[in-house]
Chains A and B, each alone.
Chain A
Amino acid sequence: DIQITQSPSSLSASVGDTVTITCRTSQTTGNSLNWYQQRPGRAPSLLIYGASTLEVGVPVRFGGTSSGTDFTLSISGLQPEDSATYFCQQTYTTPPTFGGGTTVGI
């Protein structure tokens, strides 16, 4: 299975800040890396797929980039509603695997 190391596990930032979350995969996954947001008590929701394609309806302050086995989710101009846990997922191989999650506190 492809292992994913997601960092940091948690962070605290202020409204308007830019935050960055990183996932490193144990082997190449091409661009088959997705990002999800999970608010407390809710199901995850898709933010970004294919490493950098923004899901319809997701604010443009969210962005995804990749470099080899390193993938980054950036949130620029942090908003109160961005307080959530963020997960990355690789779907390059089966079984698809998830990062451990990053909890963003505002």
Chain B
Amino acid sequence: QVHLQESGPGLVKPSETLSLTCTVTGTSISTYYWTWIRQPPGKGLEWIGYFYSSGRTTYNPSLESRISSSVDRSKNQFSLNLTSVTAADTAVYYCARVRSIATREVDIWGQGTLVTVS
């Protein structure tokens, strides 16, 4: 059974860097594409980016200037860094699996982790 688990600080100060890691179990991260999606409290969903085990990435243009990422295939993890955070970055951050590169539906989600910028 595939499981995703987000980890990282729940509180980040304004102007600092938000760092999150997604640990994948039950499948190899080399088999699929992966994504981060966030949801401000009480609001809708915002796509952050696609991440590939090769290191290739596609980011949301609205966030691209502040995003960096990495993949650790030995630990089956991928990570997200978001710099210069503000209160607008307060959200539940989900890591998730993109099942098909053709249709790009997100079929497995982590439980999400709330990151507060304050």
Interface of A is mostly: loop
A-B CB pair tally, cutoff 8 Å: 51
Q: Which chain A positions have C-beta within 8 A of B50?
A: 94
Interface presence of B60 (CB below 8 A): yes
Interface presence of B44 (CB below 8 A): yes
Interface presence of B46 (CB below 8 A): yes
What is the bound-complex CA distance between A97 and B48, given in angstroms?
10
Residue tally, chain B, CB below 8 Å to A: 20
Interface-side segment among B20-28, B69-77, B109-117: B109-117
What is the bound-complex CA distance between A42 and B61, given in angstroms?
27
Interface presence of B34 (CB below 8 A): no
Distance (Å) between the CB of A84 and the closest chain B CB? 14
What is the bound-complex CA distance between A55 and B46, given in angstroms?
22
A positions within 8 Å CB-CB of B: 32, 34, 36, 42-46, 49-50, 55, 87, 89, 91, 94-101
B positions within 8 Å CB-CB of A: 44-47, 50, 58, 60-62, 94, 96, 103-107, 109-112
Instruction: Supply 21 A–B pairs (Cβ within 8 Å), ascending by A.
Output: A32-B103, A32-B104, A42-B111, A43-B94, A43-B109, A43-B110, A43-B111, A44-B45, A44-B94, A44-B109, A49-B105, A87-B44, A89-B45, A91-B104, A94-B50, A95-B47, A96-B47, A96-B104, A98-B44, A98-B45, A98-B46
